[in-house]
Amino acid sequence: MAEAIRRQAPLSRWVIYAVLILFAAFYLVPLLVTVLNSVRTEQDIGSTSVVGWPRELALSNFGKAWGTYCIAQRCEGISPFMLNSIMMVVPATIISTLIGALNGYSIALWRFRGDNWVFGIITLGVFLPEQMKLVPWTLVLRDLGLSNTITALVFIHVIQGISFTTLFCRNYYVAIPPDLLKAAKIDGAGYFRIFWRIVLPLSPPILIVTVIWQFTHIWNEFLYGVTFTTGAQQPVTAALIALSVSVAEAPQYGVQSAAVLIAALPTLLVYLFGGKYFLRGLTAGAVK
């Protein structure tokens, strides 16, 4: 019996592996094409097709994409837009995560009138499509005088992100035993001291998850970027489009591919360094 299983197992194993590898390859083809094109010269791509192995390794595409390529009459590559994105994503991620943690803490661990309603309304934001909010945001930004600024995007992403960050943190904090709060109240700690000294030190797993989520989401966000900013204020996701539009004569697939890869690098790095926390954090929650 045991031997039969051992003899049969490899076959089904191989079938599973083959199917998985096939799917993975299929899924990774666009990435592969982009990576290959990023190191091919224009002549190379022009003389064959966009799908092909590089004849020689041309790393100059990355330098051009970063610093000299012309986008919308400015020949500084994507580096200014990368900076825009960083100026947007760092404060937006930090602020939305902190507000989410404070919200989650209040909703999960303090009872107040209508607390479930507040939670319900905040999490409703998770399900609202971005397009629905375009017009309201336009009006708000106009009235605040923030149109076409990075600050506007930070503001939007903080507000929009609160739904997710609150949901994440609240679901993590409900596992904190209520006795812990009772003990702290008797010890004389107030709302903020309990948060700062007891709840926040328990939070790294969920904060890492929330930061990764917010960072990738805000970095990759396109619609608000392209709608509410123009020209030099755009985040890199919006600028990449301008880059593909600007090449009127001959499409420069090599430089474009390199630019896309550079733009995708921050989220890839976040995933590489934080991915294991992400997977762990989503299943964690028990505070032992």
Binding site for another protein (CB under 8 A): 177, 179-180, 182-189, 193, 197-198, 201-202, 287-288
Among 161, 281, 278, 261, smallest CA distance to 221 is for 161
Nearer to another protein, 184 or 264 (CB): 184
Angle at 208 (CA atoms; ends 212, 81), nearest 5 degrees: 30
Among 205, 117, 101, smallest CA distance to 161 is for 101
Give the nearest distance from C-beta 125 to another protein in angstroms.
Answer: 30
Nearer to another protein, 70 or 183 (CB): 183
Nearer to another protein, 93 or 203 (CB): 203
Among 138, 105, 130, 136, smallest CA distance to 119 is for 105
Nearer to another protein, 26 or 112 (CB): 112
Nearer to another protein, 23 or 196 (CB): 196
Give the nearest distance from C-beta 119 to another protein in angstroms.
Answer: 20
Give the nearest distance from C-beta 173 to another protein in angstroms.
Answer: 13
What phi-psi label fits residue 145: left (phi over 0), alpha (psi between -120 and 50 degrees) or beta? left
Give the nearest distance from C-beta 117 to another protein in angstroms.
Answer: 18
- Cα–Cα separations (whole angstroms), residue 231 to 238, 273, 275: 10, 33, 34
Give the nearest distance from C-beta 188 to another protein in angstroms.
Answer: 4
Residues contacting residue 79 through CB under 8 Å, at least 6 positions apart: 66, 67
